[in-house]
Amino acid sequence: MGSEQNLLFAVVFLSSLLLSTHAITDAPSPSPSSSQIFSTETNILTIKSNTVNTLFKPSSEILDFCKDTENPTLCSETIAPFMQDMFDPIKALEIEMEATLNQSMKVSNIISEALTNPNTDRRARGALDICKSQYKSIAQTVKDAVELLNQQNVVDAYYKFSSVISDQSTCEDAFVESRGVTIPFADDSLGVFQLGGNCLAIMDSMVNNRNRYFLV
């Protein structure tokens, strides 16, 4: 294995670690119907020592599953560490939704910290307040969508989930409209957009029978 590959693997590993270190601070209480998504929880260190190959080389099924999303690499990198056994498309979608939730919780935490920090620019506070409520709504939306998915209701899950993208952009717009300040979490906001967009693309292909994994 070349050192370039090693480096790439290290970067991928670090980014998945970053995603997973920002915990869901208020995970919904597991109900029977939503338990599936939480059974994907795995200790990242265990993954590292046991399954280095599968972690960093997404299976051909995962690559194929992700290929029609806007960010196929991000899609397969976020799913692969949690999908080491048999490929399961619904579980893969739930993992991508959970990754979106985790990323939005990360942004929520940044917003809360900025709002409590006395050094935060006064001109940014209005936008931060707007973002705080948008991200609260995003977290609830993703949880509701997972719930709908567990009830086999992909169509409603799709429509529900689409507000993740509009809420994310409402937050960004709030900063665009605030003179003299820029969004302090541009990359993390982009992450929510990309992960959320991946979920929508996957659901879209499910609903429209374009994803071979969902053909019945």
Q: Is 20 in the site for ligand NAG (CB under 6 A)?
A: yes
Q: Is 95 in the site for ligand NAG (CB under 6 A)?
A: yes
What is the smallest separation between the CB atom of 102 and ligand NAG, expressed in angstroms? 4
Q: Is 24 in the site for ligand NAG (CB under 6 A)?
A: yes
CB closer to ligand NAG out of 102 and 211: 102
**CA separation (Å) from 51 to 39, 166, 188, 192?**
18, 37, 28, 27
Q: Could you report how far apart the first and last alpha carbons of the chain are, in Å?
A: 40
| Of residues 1, 35, 46, 42, the one with CA closest to residue 19 | 42
Contacting ligand NAG (CB under 6 A), which of 47, 92, 93, 99?
Answer: 99
Q: Is 102 in the site for ligand NAG (CB under 6 A)?
A: yes
Q: Is 55 in the site for ligand NAG (CB under 6 A)?
A: no
Tokens 């997973």 belong to residue: 20
Q: Could you give the angle at the alpha carbon of 91 between the alpha carbons of 59 and 30, nearest 5°?
A: 145
Q: Is 167 in the site for ligand NAG (CB under 6 A)?
A: no
Q: How many residues bind to ligand NAG according to rule CB under 6 A? A: 10
Question: Under a CB-based contact definition with an 8 Å cutoff, are residues 70 and 194 in contact?
Answer: yes
| Residues in contact with ligand NAG by the rule CB under 6 A | 19-20, 23-24, 41, 82, 95, 98-99, 102
